[in-house]
Structure 1
């Protein structure tokens, strides 16, 4: 067994499977064979990923250029014996690291969730006896018995099937339970169509059978997914990439300016100690100490806002990443659709009807071909609805205001359609008591029930596939319930038309029998004969969510392509995509093309890269193909959001720039691998999250545009002073006061700025574009220059007029505060005029300016602050000059914004 070959088990005949696994048909494996195989293959458990130690994970939070800058600032301020400032800056670093540590994704948690999916026990045949064992003790070759309600404990080839249905949605994405058959399949059969296989972690929902274990532990399909999760590399988000790049540039610029300042001072013959301290002052002034903290807080505010919109964020940067998303790859079932089968079309009495309503909610209307709501129920239609609701083993239940099906989703849809016509299931069951039943079997493809009908007759209702039901019919019913010649061609064409719309079609027939027939004995003797009367067709689908249609439309208008990646069949996927309005952004591409998993498998990597942007719907897709699609889209420089709820989605969720898991239907595995969880499983929530993400990035950009002129202006003031050999207008401790207080009281208020109008009409940001545009760089330079002119000019004016250095420096520092306060209002929108921005739409701005004013008054007028920061009281005339200069800066910035708006308008014309 050591050289057990990798077999296409679904393509092997049963006898060949027994031979390959050296298993006896009747007695299974012996105890000695099990021991030997356990030593070879190991336990039936998924290997846990070796976790990163908590200490190492915490230390990695400091691996960031901005954090390096803050650590340098901590050391510098400590060296200057400014212990309080040093402690504050280091406190910011620690808080930032703790938040990052708590928010970081843990891949090992996802794999541990996969381990929990394995069944705790299994019924097997060993040494010729049926025994119950721990599922971890299963080995290849074991004969496993499966019954309804069992979780499949390992991958196995089925050798006995008794009406077996298995819910494989967590693995394949298939929206309904799969009917299993012990039949030989083609070699290239995709995973979702391997009806002769059962896979670890899936659930037997109906019937039972027996299978031979073909793979255990890491070798199962679930185990392969665990391996893909551990190997999938979580990419940096656009925000973290840009912040890292920006931080490195800032680090080099600050260090470069400090070195130049030190060298120039020495060339001017200044004392090296004072020159070194001046260089340190420049570095401290230019470092934006508040940037990491404000970035974290802004993201946290976005997290809170998104939670109010039913989106729980597990990783802070995911908030911003959604805002830069260019493609959303969405699962179909439950995300874009209701995950509730709904009858939409009925053909009965030679007439076609439309049904309104959605899901299992028993509300809606039945309309005829002319679109008129039925006042009276034709007999032919009534019998069709009656058969659907009483030849039925399921029930509709209402829990917490929501309607759910207990049993098969298809049967739930039939019950709901009958209720819309006033035929309550319980009442009809009492009116027509069931006498006998022939349960559904895959080889039979129908279910039949025998009921009491009237004083003279009983009645058989039969529902099943069109092929197996129609061949047993001899006539049909008209609208009045009278006999009608059977038009097989018309019925077949109608069914095919429904199927082309992505609808699942059930054919319904009946036969009235003598009152003495209380069983199906006579019917079964003549089963193949044409003895039934065709009643009608009921066609159903898992309908799209109305809000998903609106959300997809909004996303596409915002330049975000939406792609459906599902395990469902191609026809169904295409029908839903057309109803939702999923379009390809490339108008030259086939808008209705569906690429299947089988076709994907035949494409080379180069061919996939050429096709992946041209197709919007992918059907019957295997787990590794989802991962491959995400990787291909990222290779085309897209920022990819991926939604999913099953185990099969977890690797792709982890690989995507942002993984979005479903909170209701999602497995624990998918939630652990995701960056964000939707509490309502609704695509519309993603659209809201994208909107929120764009707002977060807008606010971060506003903050960066606001804070950098302060740091650059301080640096320029100090550098000019060194170049001309003058006293420093701003001391290092004063620079720290400016940087920390203004960032908290003023800059942080921009995090609360509401969304700007038209935010979802803009195209996504180019992932390769720099964090700051030419417009923003120009504004930062111009405001920095204005700060240099104002602060240095006021400093020199004060000295010329006989003021002390303390007063002159206090004027320079306070001018920075005044200009930053008015510039804050300019930054509420980087393009729209301040005078068109609602003045009280962000009350936090006013609160922040008020708090900053109080703090600055304390800085100026309290003795203790005068001692700590070498400040001095100012006169009223000083305030008048500073305020006048602040208003001048405000209007100059608004003029510059107007010039840029004109340039953009001419470019777009």
Structure 2
């Protein structure tokens, strides 16, 4: 069995790939391009617009409406037929448009292979498009290059690569050509491999390509995304469940009404069918899906104004029921930049900003930090360029007005020994006022062992065991707080010359500088607010467990009794063990993309609605798997943004909490809108059933009910979606995602309020029947039902009386009511519309009866709320 490439020597790798040191020939490259295909990521399966459009008609309620339209057509009621089909086509078009606004994650992943690459072919250096690179190509890498394929390092000159797009960690990784012997190791330890999507930040190298397209680490992530299935939101589940049950109930009731009409009342088949059609149209809330979509869309607009950009409408509702936020650390909870925290010199541990430059030891420490680094600052943007650790050191110098380029020109570098992970040191030789001076920074254990003296404010003193123990104690305390510690030392040399490894000894130890990727200030407050709202925040990171735990404690994520596990521990856990420990694990460290998906899945397995935040390519599969994927808008990669359902335009973790509040408000508004629609429909259903049982004529024509459902009902329902958030929403725990929206209180409200509306509609029907016959009766019943439902919109704004809610608290409800009344007036009093809507003329007395009867249910409901409130 072939060993992994990182376990082969460079020579063995070239032999295995069948390539010479001069690279592939042009013919070989063409053959391999045909064999392996372009260096691109596979595209997901795409549906045609016709197939998507056809899927919109699979719903059982839609099938019932189609049957109703056909029956209406055969009964000679062409107007109803046309209106029903128009409604169905409109809803299908809206659903199709929403589908094609779906995610484009794989397209963004594929786009990362687009940059060009410098390759050796036929012994010549040439530049080719990234998608033309094939296995066996020898690629030259330089600082600033985006690596377009996976490859084995052949030669390296101080190469450092930023793999944050894959690992999520901002610190550059050193690469070398030394083969790693033994068993396969983790991604972060494959130091002789370079990976597609990574950025060269320092040095240069040559590598031989070992994998392209879907055979890369980036391709593996793409495969995970293809395999990941998104879950339906609680609202979708509730509505699907409700629609299915409603469809069955409608069919049963329609069948019963038809049979009663024919066999009990002796009604003709066509007339009985019209009763069944009227009942079906009355029962089906045609505008429900459109209303929900519109309310969600309005919620997204409000969130966008608060820097939360919603890509998928369903994410708005899911946010309202989020129970756990699985948050990436780097760049999400933290600032994604290294920052100096505390320094130790001359026996004193102080914040970095409190350096005393009058102290020889502390001044020397700052001097070494600036000179023994290669980072620079962009003069225009102020951003650091180079290794994040060295950027932090240069920024420390800037704080004390030490301009790195100027200072380095005053103390020119004469020679250097680049950083090496085996030595764990970097050394540079400089001209100083005291002659040639060797400055070194690196791991404290290595540098302390090579130090014979210590620099103090009073001069150089011998390094005694007691002084060494004090330095080790300080290092231990800093490390336990999650800080990365660098040691600094110096050594005078007799003359300027090339450096050798033997020069890195007999040092005078100068001091320590600790640094950390600091938490965002707003993260602490946001985590506390989330906790108050009953939402658990969990940190998921590729960082060390000690560092991650320290950050989590600062932010408030990790508390007494919580656990922190790393990727190895997680790998060794069975699903049952993970499920048992899951509620207590606050920090996951050193995790892979597969681990992130497993963590999110574990929370979902517990029935929780899980959100996942992230900014790197490695986060994309988990962002897609989560109920709500949240990407960073500023620091996030395009892949993470496309995989997410929500993007934070300000990269502010606190914005998530605002989005949760809006999500809860939107859900409450949708629930109120659904209650409004169903209670109104219930009134129509009960009226039709009563008329059938009483042997009366049909109280409403199908066109009447469609007018109500699509026009006069839609406006108040949309207005309910604009209701402002109620105080105390964030003091409540997240709602149970498995709890049905149609619970007993809501069903009782729907039936009770619908019964009152149905009763007044039938009273109006009897008045019209007595004064002018079936046509007038139908007109008065239709008018009363319409106006009663418009009044009922005020009842559904909340559970309190309108006096507490405030009539002007939601001006949109007043506008909706006024527009609805105007539309009804057009139908009743514009002669051209009388024939279309099958209405009869009414006089002043009949109009007064309609208004009084329509207002009666709202009056009774409001009086009961006032009494209950007192």
Query: If the length of structure 2 is used for normalisation, what is the TM-score?
Result: 0.91
Report if aligned partners of 1:46, 1:226 keep a CA contact under 8 Å in 2: yes
Which residue matches 2:468? Answer: 488
Moved more, 678-687 or 479-488: 479-488
* TM-superposed deviation, 1:538: 1.3
**Cα drift, residue 825 of structure 1:** 1.9
1:282 is matched with 279
More moved, 430-439 vs 222-231: 430-439
Deviation, 1:882, is 4.1
Question: Residue 505 of structure 1 is aligned with which of 471, 485, 492?
Answer: 485
Which residue of the partner structure matches residue 339 of structure 2?
A: 342
Q: For the structure 1 residues 426 and 528, does the alpha-carbon distance in structure 2 shift closer, same or farther, using more than 3 Å as the test?
A: closer
* Compared CA separation, residues 820 and 31, structure 1 to 2 (3 A): closer
Q: 2:541 and 2:282 mapped to 1: Cα distance?
A: 54
Instruction: Name the stretch that deviates more: 294-303 or 732-741.
Output: 732-741
Q: 1:385-430: CA deviations, max 9, x gaps? A: 333234332233476xx74212222122223333334545456456
Conserved? CA contact 2:828–2:841, under 8 Å:
yes
Corresponding position of 2:320: 323
Q: How does 1:706-745 map to 2 (within 5 A)?
A: 706-745=676-715
- Is this contact kept in 1: 2:39–2:212, CA < 8 A? yes
**Runs of at least 5 residues in structure 2 that lack an aligned partner in the other structure:** none
Secondary structure, aligned partner of 1:767: coil
Q: Counterpart of 1:596?
A: 566
1:842 aligns with 2:839: no
CA distance 1:263–1:228, shift in 2 (3 Å)? same
User: Which residue is equivalent to 1:826?
Assistant: 795
Q: Is the partner of 2:720 in helix, strand or coil?
A: helix
Q: What is the SS of the residue equivalent to 2:205? A: strand
Structure 1 counterpart of 2:267, from 254, 261, 270: 270
Distance 2:822 2:67 in 1: 30
Q: 2-side partners of 1:568 and 1:77: how far apart?
A: 67
TM-score, scaled to structure 1:
0.87
Q: Answer yes or no: is the 8 Å Cα contact 1:66–1:292 preserved in 2.
A: no
User: Partner of 2:304 in structure 1?
Assistant: 307
Change (3 A) 1:179 1:776: same
2: CA distance, partners of 1:664 / 1:119: 22
Aligned to 1:528: 504
Distance, in Å, in 2 between the alignment partners of 1:885 and 1:91 is 29
Per the TM alignment, residue 844 of structure 1 is displaced from its structure 2 partner at its CA by 0.6
Q: Secondary structure at the match of 1:468?
A: helix
Q: CA 1:193/1:692 → structure 2, altered by over 3 Å: closer, same or farther?
A: farther
Residue 391 of structure 1 corresponds to which residue in structure 2? Answer: 372
Structure 1: distance between partners of 2:102 and 2:681: 39
Matching residue of 1:705: 675
CA distance in 1, matches of 2:785, 2:46: 48
Aligned-partner Cα distance in 1 for 2:86–2:585: 50
- Alpha-carbon displacement from aligned partner over 1:221-250 (angstroms, at most 9, x marks no partner): 111222222222222222222222211222
Q: Give the equivalent residue in structure 2 for 1:852.
A: 820
Alpha-carbon distance in structure 2 between the residues aligned to 1:535 and 1:714: 86
Shift of 1:571: 1.9
CA–CA separation in structure 2 for the residues paired with 1:227 and 1:410: 34
Alpha-carbon offset, residue 759 of structure 1: 1.4
Aligned counterparts, 1:584-733, within 5 A = 590-591=561-562, 593-733=563-703
Summarize the Cα distance change of 1:205–1:898 in structure 2 as closer, same or farther, 3 Å threshold.
farther
Matched, 1:195 2:191: yes
Cα displacement (A) at 1:450: 4.2
> Following TM superposition, by how much is the alpha carbon of 1:874 offset from its aligned partner in structure 2, in angstroms?
4.2
Evaluate the alpha carbon distance shift between residue 872 and residue 94 of structure 1 in structure 2; reply closer, same or farther with a 3 A threshold: same
Contact 2:64 2:280 in 1 (8 A): no
Give the alignment partner of residue 521 of structure 2, picking from 539, 546, 551: 546
Q: Which residue of 1 is the match for residue 240 of structure 2?
A: 244
Partner SS state of residue 152, structure 2: strand
Cα separation, 2, equivalents of 1:40 and 1:743: 61
**1:171 aligned residue:** 166
User: In 2 relative to 1, CA 425–156 (structure 1 residues): closer, same or farther, beyond 3 Å?
Assistant: closer
CA gap 1:833/1:346 in 2 versus in 1, 3 angstroms: farther
Q: State the distance in 1 between where 2:866 and 2:604 align.
A: 35
Contact preservation (8 Å) 2:56, 2:96 = yes
Farther off after superposition, 874-883 or 457-466: 874-883
For residue 584 of structure 2, give the secondary structure of its aligned residue in structure 1.
coil
- Unmatched runs of 5 consecutive residues or more in structure 1: 356-365, 369-373, 903-909
Out of 344, 361, 364, the position equivalent to 1:380 is 361
Query: Match for residue 468 of structure 1?
Result: 446
The residue that corresponds to 2:51 in the other structure is 56
SS in 2 for 1:48: coil
User: 1:178: how far off?
Assistant: 0.9
Distance 1:166 1:258 in 2: 69
Kept in 2, the 8 Å contact 1:10–1:187? The answer is: no
Contact 1:200 1:220 in 2 (8 A): yes
Q: Distance in 1 between matches of 2:713 and 2:639?
A: 40
Q: Report the 3-state secondary structure (helix = DSSP H, G, I; strand = E; otherwise coil) of the residue aligned with 1:616.
A: strand
- SS, match of residue 200 in structure 2: strand
Partner of 1:359: none
The answer to whether the 8 Å contact 2:753/2:857 transfers is no
**Distance in 2 between the 1:879 and 1:484 partners?**
105
- Which residue is equivalent to 1:361? none
> Once the two structures are superposed, what CA deviation does each residue of 1:777-798 show, in whole Å capped at 9, x if it has no partner?
1100100111122221232245
Shift of 1:722: 0.8
- Whole-angstrom distance in 1 between the partners of 2:2 and 2:722: 58
Alignment partner, residue 257 of structure 2: 261
User: Residue 312 of structure 1: CA displacement?
Assistant: 2.0
The alpha carbon displacement at 1:327 in A equals 2.0
The structural deviation recorded for 1:612 is: 3.5
Q: Residue in 2 aligned with 1:371?
A: none
Match of 2:726 in 1: 756
Q: What is the number of equivalent residue pairs in this alignment?
A: 865
Q: CA RMSD in A?
A: 3.2
Change (3 A) 1:169 1:820: same
Q: Label 1:289 to 1:351 Cα distance change in 2 as closer, same or farther (>3 A).
A: same
The verdict on how the C-alpha distance between 1:81 and 1:560 changes in structure 2, with shifts beyond 3 A counting, is farther
